Chains A and B, each alone.
Chain A
Amino acid sequence: MRGLLNHRLFPALAMSAVVVLMPLVLPSAYYYRVAALVFVFALAAVGLNLLMGFAGQVSLGHAGFMGIGAYAVAIGPTHLNLPSWLAFVGGAGLSALVAFAVGRPILRLKGHYLAVATLGFGLLLAIAFSNEARFTGGPDGMAVPRFAVFGLSVRGAQAWYWITAASFLIGAVLALNLIESPTGRALRAIHDSEVAARVLGIDVARMKLAVFVVSAVYASVAGSYFAFLNGHITPDVSGFLRSIELVAMVVLGGLGSVAGSLVGAALLVMLPQTLTSLHDYEHMALGLIIMLVMIFLRAGIVPTLARALRRA
């Protein structure tokens, strides 16, 4: 039992079980939709967690990459006549390119300076999306054509549940493998001390850039799914608040915990849906819960609970 609990892919196994068993308790299409949203944000959060939890680099602009993915699948089919799957792949490729180009200069910045630079980057994208109305429909946003492969279009919340769940699980397994690879160990070394990592012969700049690009692709894919799920996107998808939300998901669930990113995403996607019954008190409750979780479960929900379980 202990061996299983400590196995590298145990989190992936546990999360797969959740994915397969969930449909037994989901009562309606609405719940499938919410669950799909959870997986979408969890995917983005896993990518950001690689950057924040392992390499120790903060990004307050990752929603910008979600925006690239989202607008790629909206603009590609509408204005460029691309098939939606090609726009989807193209969006991810574009995000990787942008992350590479932007990451090279700004990853030299450290700590809060990196935070403000990424924040500026995300803001620039959001401003561009809301002002280039010819392509993006401006602040009102634009419609997203249905996702279709070889003439088969995807419709219905259940179909999206399985697609997003499978994508999330693939993303999670890739992340878990990356963490245990030499690259993952190098990233953790950078997190502990950049100087020490450099002394050990790790190419710090290259490693940081690589993980930044990977996390951008995760966010972009999540952004594309988000656009498909909603059928309509606005510049808010890449806004500052969205970026903050992603960071909050990672930290609430647990920095450096892949399963934590799923829990964090579930918390922040579902809380507003449940709290609407509180009407005006919704935001107060949300803020209070975020503060309480961080004060009492400092290491994040999953790592704190896992430690408690192991001790028990």
Chain B
Amino acid sequence: MTELLQFAFSGLTVGAVYALVALGFTLIYNSCDVINFAQGEFVMLGGMTAVFLGLAGVPLPLAACLAVVLTVAVGLALHRFAIEPARGSGAVVLIIITIGASIFLRGAAQVIFDKRFHTLPPFVGGDAIRIAGAAILPQSLVVLAGAVIILVLLWAFIERTLIGKAMVATAANEIAARLVGIDTRAAVGLSFAISAAIGAVAGILITPVALTSYDVGSLLALKGFAAAMLGGIGSAVGAVIGGLVLGLLEAFAAGYVSSQYKDAVAFLVILIVLLAMPRGLFGRAPVERV
């Protein structure tokens, strides 16, 4: 029982990060049908920028805010200079562009920062908290709390504000949205900005627990993409559940099967779920028109 709880804690911590990356995938996919493989680089940029600003003597809260701002700027630039000019291209072409962007950002990080592993001091000090014999680090609770806060803020923004509703309208039908006077280009740009911000925050939160380096992005993009597909692409609820399930699967597989095969178990389960439910857990069935 203690063991189970211990694995669940570590799985939920990692899963929360996967969920945030998957949420970033979902936001951009909904706004413009692009699978953004540079999503993992947002996480890396958030973590690495905060680390290096910290090393330069900037206090941690300010460094974190600046890191988010910088990542948002990168997200907006990605939309403006890479996605917008290629509008109307096929899905695969847009995917290759985002992969190019992710190689570019990784290369830039390698030059601007360095190739070593880095960490941040935990935001809250103190010893591990014991619950029924299982230990959980305070920072893990911070990660989970951060993820919940982001979700609530995002939900409130989308459901309760006019700008959020404009984004929903753009996602539902771009031409119709333009006809009622919504600046759809700005709405798509906004989705890149929000995705970048979510990624950066995830990167900052997880760095004290999991270390960061210039090349953590591609693995996170892969996991986040898998989580988003497991949940059913386009569904925000699905992205969050998919991320948490993926994190838990990995933790349990590492604990009970073998740590070398944890990714294998996770992907095997994803394959089986997709074969049983070809639209993911929460995806809607599309209608194909001829």
Contact = CB atoms under 8 A, between A and B. Distances in A.
Interface of A: 52, 58, 105-106, 108-113, 115-117, 119-121, 123-124, 127-128, 130-131, 193-196, 199, 240-241, 244, 247-248, 251-252, 255, 280-291, 294-295, 298
Contacts of A58: 92
A127 B261 contact: yes
B271 A121 contact: yes
Interface in B66-90: 82, 85-86, 89-90
A6 to B, nearest CB: 25
B60 interface: no
Given A119-B222, A121-B271, A124-B268, A112 B111 contact: no
Scoring A110, A199, A244, A252 by chain B CB atoms within 10 A of each residue's CB, the highest score goes to A244
A116 B82 contact: no
B122 interface: no
Contact of B264 (A119, A124, A286): A124
A255 B92 contact: yes
A127 to B, nearest CB: 5
Contacts of B86: 294-295, 298
A108 B274 CA distance: 10
B99 interface: yes
Chain B interface SS verdict (over half): helix
B148 interface: no
The 5 closest A-B pairs by CB, nearest first: A283-B107, A287-B104, A290-B100, A287-B103, A284-B107
Interface in B205-226: 218, 222, 225-226
A120 B96 contact: no
Contacts of A115: 35, 229
A52 B227 CA distance: 24
Interface string B186-210: 0000000000000000000000000
A298 B88 CA distance: 10
Given A295-B85, A295-B86, A124 B107 contact: no
Contacts of B270: 116-117, 120
Given A120-B270, A123-B267, A195-B288, A287 B96 contact: no
B290 interface: yes
Given A120-B271, A294-B89, A286 B97 contact: no
A294 B93 contact: yes
Interface of B: 35, 82, 85-86, 89-93, 96-97, 99-108, 110-111, 218, 222, 225-226, 229, 233, 260-261, 263-264, 267-268, 270-271, 274-275, 278-280, 288-290
Contact of B274 (A109, A123, A199, A284): A109
Contacts of B93: 251, 294, 298
Chain A interface SS verdict (over half): helix
22 contacts: A109-B274, A109-B275, A109-B278, A110-B278, A112-B229, A112-B233, A113-B233, A113-B274, A116-B229, A117-B274, A123-B263, A123-B264, A131-B260, A248-B96, A280-B107, A286-B103, A287-B104, A289-B100, A291-B101, A294-B93, A294-B100, A298-B93
Scoring B107, B275, B288 by chain A CB atoms within 10 A of each residue's CB, the highest score goes to B107
Scoring A106, A121, A131, A294 by chain B CB atoms within 10 A of each residue's CB, the highest score goes to A294
A123 B233 CA distance: 20
A179 B110 CA distance: 43
A295 to B, nearest CB: 5
B79 to A, nearest CB: 13
Nearest to B262: A127
B97 A127 contact: no
A118 to B, nearest CB: 10
